[in-house]
Amino acid sequence: MDDAAIAKAKEYFGTIVDEQLQRVEQMKKGQEWIDYAQVKPIIIGIIGGDGIGPFIAAEARSVLEFVLKEEVETGKVEMRDIEGLTIENRADQNKSIPDDVLEEIKKCHVTLKGPTTTPRKGDPWPNIESCNVSMRRYLDLFANVRPVKVPKDGIDWVFFRENTEGAYIMGSKGLNVTDDLAIDFKVITSQGAERIIRLAFDYAKKNNINKVTIVTKANVVKTSDGKFLDMGYKIAAEYPEIEADDWYIDIMTAKLVDPKRRTQFKVLVLPNLYGDILTDEAAEFQGGVGTAGSANIGKRYAMFEAIHGSAPRMVKEGRAKYADPASMIRAAAMLVNHIGYPDRAKKLEMALDICGNYEKKLVTTGRDTGATGAEYAGYIMETMQDPNLEERWEGYIKG
C-alpha cells in the first residue's frame, strides 16, 4: 500500500467536498428569474467560436437581425460580437474562458454561440476544460434544453438535461491515485436536481403536456442517481395532473428507436452525461446533430448554441462557407422565444422545417456541390416572408 498516495488522495477529496458544499450554500441563496420585458436593451452576444463557428454564426446573426429588425432599430435589442473564445486564445492563456472574454459575456443577457474545440489526447493544445462546461458553471446555466420534433413520425420531445453537476462538472478534477488507480467524481445535489426537475414539470404544465419522464441509472448508481430519482418523484407529487414515470438510461436509448414506444415520450429530464448521450441520439431522428439547436438556461443568463463540433477540417480544406448553419439558426429561434417573441420564433422554426425537411430547394452538403451557408440562410428568410407560411407548413405536416 502506498500510504503517501492514499493520504494525498484523502486530502484532495476533502478539497472537492469543500468546494461542492460551498456550491450548495450558494444555490440555497436562490436568485430571481430575469424579466426580459423590463430590460432595455436586451443585449445579445454573438460568439463565433472555433472552426466553422464564425461562419455559421454570421449567418445566424443575419437571421436574428431579420427576425428582430424592429427591436434592433428601436433599441429594444442590441447585438454584440464577442471575440476571443477561440482555442488559440484559450490555449495561450491556459484557461477554458479567458477572463476578459468572460467579462464581455457577462455584459450580455443572452448569447448565441458557435461550436468550440475541446482539447483531447493527441491534440496540440493544453488539457484545458471545455469552455461549454465552464460557461455553464460560471453563469449557472443549469438547464440544457433540447427540443426534437419529427411530426410525420409522431416525435415531439423536449429534453431537460442538468448542466452544472453530474459527471461532467467534475470531469477535469479526477485523480490518478497511483499509476494503477484512476478515480473520477460524480456529484448530484438536492438543490441542483430540484431546480432542473421543477423546470421540466413547469414547462410541461405551461405547455399542456401531460407526461414527464425521469431518466437515471439509479438501479446501479444508487446514491447520486438515486437522489435525482427520489427528487423527481417528490416534485412530481406537486403536479398531480402530470403523469411521471422513470426509465434507466440503457433501456431508454433502446426505446427511442422503438416506433411503438417512442411516441409516448414527451418531456424528459435527466442528469448531465445521460442527457448528452440521449439528445445526440434523438437529434438523428431530426436529421442529425447538424440540424439541432440547444438552450442553456439560468435565472440570470442564457446561452444558445449549435450542438455539433467545430469541424476544423472544413476550414483547412477551404469549405467553411459551405457549412450548414441550420443548427445555429435553430438555436437562434430558441433565443427569440426565450426573450419574449414566441410567435416569431415559431415562424422561424416553421421555415427551418420547410427548408430542411420538406421542400429542400437548397441543400447544404458541406462542399461546393451544395448551397453556401449564406444562400441557405437567405432561403430561410425568404420562406419566412411567405404570408401563407403557416398553411404551407401545416400542409407538409399533414402530408
Q: What CATH number did the domain enclosing 327 receive? A: 3.40.718.10
**Structural domain contains residue 170:** no
The per-residue pLDDT for 290 is 63
User: How much is the pLDDT for 307?
Assistant: 78
Q: Is 287 exposed, middle or buried (0-12, 13-18, 19+ CB in 10 A)?
A: middle
User: Which of these, 195, 198, 209, lies nearest to 157 by C-alpha position?
Assistant: 209
Helix (H, G, I), strand (E, B) or coil at 88: helix
**Distance from C-alpha of 320 to C-alpha of 49, rounded to nearest angstrom:** 13
Predicted confidence at residue 349, as pLDDT, reads: 93
Whether 113 is covered by a domain: the verdict is yes
Picking from 281, 274, 272, 280, the residue whose alpha carbon sits closest to that of residue 307 is 280
What is the DSSP pairing of strand 110-113 with strand 42-47? parallel
Q: How many CB atoms neighbour CB 392 within 10 A?
A: 17
Whole-number pLDDT of residue 255: 96
Q: How far is it, in rounded angstroms, from Cα 138 to Cα 118? A: 17
**CA-CA-CA-CA dihedral for 314, 351, 160, 104, to nearest 10:** 60
Residue 265 included in any domain: no
Which residue is associated with the grid cell 437581425? 65
- pLDDT in the model for residue 152: 79
* 183 DSSP 8-state letter: E
Is the residue at 214 inside a domain? no
Q: What is the pLDDT of residue 123?
A: 81
Orientation angle between helical segments 342-353 and 53-67, nearest 10 degrees: 130
Burial (0-12, 13-18, 19+ Cβ within 10 Å), 166: buried
Residue 161 to residues 150, 230, 266, 320, Cα–Cα distance (Å): 20, 17, 14, 30
pLDDT attached to residue 289: 67
Q: What is the pLDDT of residue 357?
A: 84
As a whole number, the mean pLDDT across the chain is 93
- For the chain, what is the domain count? 1
Residue 102 lies in a domain: yes
Instruction: Give the pairing type, strands 182-183 and 42-47.
Output: unpaired
Provide the residue type at 30 as one letter: G
Whole-angstrom distance, CA of residue 228 vs CA of residue 214: 9
pLDDT at 127: 84
What is the per-residue pLDDT for 115? 94
Closest CA to 376 of 337, 323, 338: 323
Report the distance separating Cα 9 and Cα 25, nearest Å.
25
Residues found in the chain: 399
Q: What domain range is 374 assigned to?
A: 31-141+298-399
Per residue of the chain (399 residues), give pLDDT as tens.
688 999 999 999 999 999 999 999 988 987 889 999 999 999 999 999 999 999 999 999 999 999 999 999 999 999 999 999 999 999 999 999 999 999 999 999 999 999 999 888 778 888 888 898 899 889 999 999 998 988 778 899 999 999 989 988 777 788 899 999 999 999 999 999 999 999 999 999 998 999 999 999 999 999 999 999 999 999 999 999 999 999 999 999 999 999 999 999 999 999 999 999 999 899 888 877 666 788 999 999 999 998 788 999 999 999 999 999 999 999 999 999 999 999 999 999 999 999 988 899 999 999 999 999 999 999 999 999 999 999 999 998 877
Residue 217 lies in a domain: no
- Considering the domain boundaries, does residue 22 fall inside one? no
Residue 313 within a domain: yes
DSSP 166: B
